[in-house]
Amino acid sequence: MTFLITYIIGVLFVSEEVFASRLSVSGNHFMLNGEKVFLSGGNLPWINYAYDFGNNQWAGVKSRVENQMKMLRDAGGNSLRLWIHIQGETSPQFDNNGYVVATDRQGTFISDFKDMLNLAQRYDILVVPTLWNAAVDQDRSHRLDGLLLDPRKLASYIQIVLTPLVKAVKGHPALGAWDIMNEPEGMIKPGESNPDPCFDTTRLQNSGAGWAGKKYNYQQMLRFINWQADAIKQEDPQALVSVGVWNPKSNTDRFSMVDHYKDSCLYKAGQKTMGKLDFYQFHSYSWHGKFDNVSPFLHQWRDYGISKPIVIGEFNRLEGGGRTMNQLFDYVYRHGYSGAWSWDLVGNGPDQRGGISHIKDYTGNGKIAIDI
């Protein structure tokens, strides 16, 4: 009996430790290993745009990615955002009708991805993989286009690639969260009237949305996100999911705007109950030296009326409203946000690692030094 009780307690203890070792959300902040943490780091975001994973491409960039991870760790950072498919240039593999038929032509995609996470774990870095990109349109083969417009093609991606990928890396300690898409507003049609506020974009008229091509309405875009978020959580219920929006204007019900990414809007678009976001991710750049009135650099977390953590997922000094990197990182940390990822470590690494180092010992809004 004593052995049985000891065994049961031991199993429960191990299970708790495994659970606690993963990044999680508690209210408006992140937790890791039982402690509140602040995600500090940057966007890698690629070595060769759309050519880093699959088809034996990882082997050619691994050493450069490792160098970036090491420099980030040495600067005191704990997380990074890394782009994956982008617009389907080399992964996944599509047939001539636009259906996904394999992860990639040579079958190395999942092993490449796992090796990248193993590398990140070595440097105590949490990785947030960004699956798709809508900020630049080079979808000449209409691969991403098919996934957004045709639910059957999206289902083929989920079945052939996303679900097996999530299953393969489920519970990996270096997997911080999944970022479904970078800046969906790049391809949103602004100025479209709809009786449902979730899909109405009249308030985004003349906002800058649609700069990469006015291709999709919000119902299509939100279904794309809802289905993938749901698939991730079906396979791994503890996984965190987010989307990197170009500006808080599309992600808050304050400031006379509409939060298109709230739970109810995502469900309306895709009807998948688990297809929701665990935290929000705002991007913010100044224009002609000034931030707009919705910018997180002019507000604090609570001003957006959101009960989830908010990470400032892109910003830099060149379009930082005249502030230094130290000031930008300091502002994000001290105003209730849950993370700061500068853009980008490859192009402006020394400058940005300086800002990361500036806050590395802060603890008032969560610790930054982590052990995974």
Q: Cα torsion for 154, 311, 164, 89, to the nearest 10°?
A: 60
Cα–Cα distance between 269 and 272 in angstroms, integer?
Answer: 9
Cα–Cα distance between 131 and 165 in angstroms, integer?
Answer: 12
Q: What is the pLDDT of residue 21?
A: 80
Q: Which of 35, 185, 192, 314 is catalytic?
A: 314
Domain ranges of the chain: 37-358
φ, ψ of residue 370 to 5 degrees: the values are -130, 160
Q: What is the pLDDT of residue 219?
A: 98
Q: How many CB atoms lie within 10 A of CB 141?
A: 14
- The answer to whether 182 touches 132, Cβ cutoff 8 Å, is yes
Q: What is the pLDDT of residue 3?
A: 40
Instruction: Look up 192 and say whether it is catalytic.
Output: no
Instruction: Look up 35 and say whether it is catalytic.
Output: no
Angle between helices 109-122 and 58-75 (to 10 degrees): 20
3-class DSSP string for 92-110: CEECCCCCEEECCCCCCHH
3-class DSSP string for 189-231: CCCCCCCCCCCCCHHHCCCCCCCCCCCECHHHHHHHHHHHHHH
* CA proximity to 39, closest of 370, 368, 372, 371: 368
Tokens at residue 165, please? 């990928």
CATH of domain 37-358: 3.20.20.80
Q: Which residue spans within the chain are E strands per DSSP? A: 24-26, 29-32, 35-37, 39-43, 79-86, 93-94, 100-102, 126-133, 178-182, 241-245, 280-283, 310-314, 339-342
Give the Å distances, CA to CA, from 349 to 26, 42, 69, 206.
31, 9, 11, 33
The model's pLDDT over 86-123, given as tens digits with 9 standing for 90+, comes to 999 999 999 999 999 999 999 999 999 999 999 999 99
**Kind and range of the H or E element at 165?**
helix 163-169
Tell me the whole-structure pTM to 2 decimals: 0.94
Give the Å distances, CA to CA, from 269 to 144, 155, 218.
18, 15, 8
Q: Which of 16, 183, 185, 192 is catalytic?
A: 183
The list of the chain residues with pLDDT below 70 reads 1-20
